[in-house]
Chain A
């Protein structure tokens, strides 16, 4: 008496490959539809900006304080809030890398002295600079980008 499978092993391997391809594309298309927004927010500005910033936003938002920890994933848009207390050159390089992962991106600088901003804007045309007193404007810009 012989108990055997209907088809050769190769057929099953092919069937599993096709089913894995289908599943993988189903997952990818589902993830593509719900593209997230990336918000990089330095810890020093977190309390002022983060509070209720995502209220009324249906799109999901991923918030990171360290640009190095952002996973390799495509985003709808990227908002990079620069930390004036840290090395700006390094942050600009991080922003240039990360903006490739998003359809549209902006960088925001909040600083008391906006003297060197024009030279910074030459290097980074997507930069928007604000004074700490203009925090409501910053929140508005972030909110419109999140929508």
Chain B
């Protein structure tokens, strides 16, 4: 019994690492898409692109820098990152089969988490941290469904 449990523990550890890696990869791809959304909409509204930084070693974060005209619609530009990821993740959900489709839920959830700053600064939404909590819940639901439907 102990031998089987040790084997099982090893197997579960491998499965856990596999799902962790997939979740992190998908979530960081979501950040790239989110920044691309700001960038593309910025170009459309006449902003001059400066840079998209995927990892800045000094502030350890991701950002998009643009020089925009003063009359630019800040509301649309602020939510553009969020609204670019949404249809793409829904499309992924519709075209993929099996448990992998729930990666889309993780993408949507993480999109809520990373958009908190945009909701706060550009949309002036009160209690924007609620979106982070909602996003985290979506990630957990997505992961539970992903693990259950693909492995167990």
Binding site for B on A (CB under 8 A): 1-10, 12-13, 15-17, 19-24, 26-28, 30-31, 72-74, 100-101
Contact = CB atoms under 8 A, between A and B. Distances in A.
| Contact-size category for B | 35 or more
**Helix, strand, loop or mixed for chain B's interface?**
helix
B90 interface: no
Nearest to B26: A16
A128 to B, nearest CB: 21
B136 A19 contact: yes
Interface in B101-124: 110, 113-114, 116-118, 120
Given A3-B63, A5-B114, A72-B8, A24 B81 contact: no
Contact of A24 (B19, B31, B38): B19
27 contacts: A1-B65, A1-B67, A1-B77, A2-B64, A3-B64, A3-B81, A3-B117, A4-B63, A5-B62, A5-B63, A6-B120, A9-B60, A15-B113, A16-B23, A17-B24, A19-B139, A22-B140, A23-B139, A23-B144, A23-B147, A24-B12, A24-B15, A24-B16, A26-B144, A27-B147, A27-B152, A100-B4
